């Protein structure tokens, strides 16, 4: 991979993590993230730095993949010769339409090919992104690695994603950059940039809690989320809605009390009906 493109991908990930931290109110991490973002931006070649800064003012997804000869950022169909240039990775190339920097995903990350087979855009709230089959009232897992795999397996078992092991690997790689554990005993492990699928959410509960961070706080409510490139902005709204709902101790208590997947699903829908549209 072109070293500057690799640098841009890492920089973009830090910016997206910063966006998540603002939503989850973990302000203590913002200063450190800001410093890292500033340093990495300064280390870009001057021409690329100008482009990246311009793109970031418009959209924090400024680096995206080429898939099926299309820019996954805007959907523009690209010429075959141009796609070949992107695959050769000898220079920095941008989409002729949206100006995002393009790269070939096969050299970086294994993608899940299938999306949810239950897409129904007319459904309200979380019904668009999940189902009772993705609810695990009592996780068997004791570690974050096993918890993510258990939730990813539930997604794969019903066709929401193709490969649970791939999803687990990518979610754990994201955890090494910055923990997705937040206040109130929640964690939001996720995989961003899924191609060929829709936004999907699985929920697992652990009454004893699972260590997702080194701060000693255990996570009892764990959401695993797959995020397509096109849904990155909406993901922050989804995250904000879940945070708003489960900041309330009573809402967490009601959720944790459920021991049946169907009832857990109905309770989750009921609790979030005003916070997730």
**Residue pLDDT tens, the chain, 277 long:** 789 998 998 899 889 888 888 888 665 678 888 999 999 999 999 999 999 999 999 888 899 989 889 998 898 999 999 999 999 989 999 999 999 999 987 533 333 444 444 444 446 688 888 999 999 999 999 999 999 999 999 999 988 888 899 899 999 999 998 899 998 999 999 998 766 567 899 999 999 999 998 777 899 999 999 988 778 778 888 999 999 999 999 999 999 999 999 999 999 999 999 999 8
**61, 80, 107 - which closes a domain:** 107
220 burial type by CB count under 10 A (0-12 exposed, 13-18 middle, 19+ buried): buried
Q: How many residues does the chain have?
A: 277
The DSSP output letter for 67 is: E
The DSSP output letter for 227 is: E
What tokens does 222 get? Answer: 């764990």
Residues β-bridged to residue 103: 65
**What integer pLDDT is reported at residue 24 of this predicted model?**
82
Are 151 and 70 contained in the same domain?
no
Are 241 and 143 contained in the same domain?
yes
227 burial type by CB count under 10 A (0-12 exposed, 13-18 middle, 19+ buried): buried
Q: Residue 113 falls within a domain, yes or no?
A: no
In which residue are the tokens 């849904």 written? 231
Are 181 and 130 contained in the same domain?
yes
Closest among 113, 126, 114 to 201, alpha carbons compared: 126
Q: Please state, in angstroms and rounded to a whole number, the distance separating the CA atoms of residues 45 and 50.
A: 9
pTM of the model: 0.81
* Owning domain of residue 249: 125-272
**What integer pLDDT is reported at residue 162 of this predicted model?**
82
Are 102 and 137 contained in the same domain?
no
Are 267 and 229 contained in the same domain?
yes
CA atoms within 13 A on the CB side of 136: 25
Quickly count: other Cβ atoms within 10 Å of residue 276's Cβ: 22
Are 135 and 261 contained in the same domain?
yes
Q: Please state, in angstroms and rounded to a whole number, the distance separating the CA atoms of residues 6 and 188.
A: 25
Q: Please state, in angstroms and rounded to a whole number, the distance separating the CA atoms of residues 39 and 17.
A: 16
Structural domain count, the chain: 2
Quickly count: other Cβ atoms within 10 Å of residue 142's Cβ: 13
**What integer pLDDT is reported at residue 25 of this predicted model?**
66
């Amino acid at each position: 991979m072109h070293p500057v493109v690799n640098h841009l991908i890492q920089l973009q990930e830090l910016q997206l993590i910063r966006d998540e931290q603002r939503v989850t109110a973990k302000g203590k991490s913002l200063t450190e993230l800001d410093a890292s973002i500033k340093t990495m931006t300064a280390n870009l070649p001057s021409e690329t730095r100008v482009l990246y800064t311009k793109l970031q003012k418009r959209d924090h997804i400024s680096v995206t993949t080429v898939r099926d000869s299309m820019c996954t950022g805007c959907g523009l169909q690209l010429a075959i010769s141009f796609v070949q240039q992107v695959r050769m990775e000898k220079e920095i190339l941008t989409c002729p339409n949206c100006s995002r920097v393009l790269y070939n995903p096969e050299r970086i990350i294994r993608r899940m090919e299938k999306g949810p087979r239950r897409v129904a855009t007319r459904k309200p709230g979380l019904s668009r992104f999940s189902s009772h089959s993705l609810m695990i009232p009592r996780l068997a897992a004791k570690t974050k690695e096993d918890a993510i795999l258990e939730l990813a397996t539930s997604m794969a078992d019903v066709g929401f994603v193709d490969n649970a092991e791939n999803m687990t690997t990518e979610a754990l790689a994201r955890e090494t950059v910055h923990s997705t554990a937040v206040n109130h005993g929640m964690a939001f492990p996720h995989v961003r940039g899924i191609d060929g699928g829709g936004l999907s959410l699985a929920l697992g509960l652990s009454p004893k809690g699972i260590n997702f961070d080194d701060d000693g706080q255990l996570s009892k409510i764990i959401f695993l989320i797959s995020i397509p490139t096109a849904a990155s902005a909406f993901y922050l709204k989804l995250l904000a809605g879940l945070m708003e709902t489960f900041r309330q101790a009573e809402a967490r208590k009601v959720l944790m009390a459920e021991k049946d997947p169907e009832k857990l699903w109905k309770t989750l829908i009921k609790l979030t009906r005003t916070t997730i549209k």
